[in-house]
Amino acid sequence: MGKVLAVCISEKKGTRKTVVPEIAVRVGYGIDGDAHAGSWHRQISLLAQESVDTMRADGLELDAGIFAENIRTEGVDWKRLPVGTVFSIGKTVLELTQIGKECHNDCEIKRLTGRCVMPTEGVFAVVRRGGVIRPGDGITCLEETK
* Whether the Cβ atoms of residue 86 and residue 127 lie closer than 8 Å to each other: no
Which residues have C-beta within 8 Å of that of residue 117, sequence separation ≥ 6? 47, 51, 52, 54, 55, 67
Which amino acid is residue 141, in one-letter code?
C
Q: Report yes or no on whether pTM surpasses 0.75.
A: yes
Task: Give CA–CA dist 51/124, Å, rounded.
Answer: 15
Task: Give CA–CA dist 111/42, Å, rounded.
Answer: 24
The CA dihedral of 60, 63, 67, 72, to the nearest 10 degrees, is 130
Print pLDDT tens along the chain (146 aa): 899 999 999 998 877 899 999 999 999 999 999 999 999 999 999 999 998 887 776 677 788 987 778 999 999 999 899 999 999 999 999 999 999 876 655 556 666 556 666 667 889 999 999 999 999 999 999 977 65
Identify the structural domains of the chain with CATH numbers, from first to last: 2-143 (2.40.33.20)
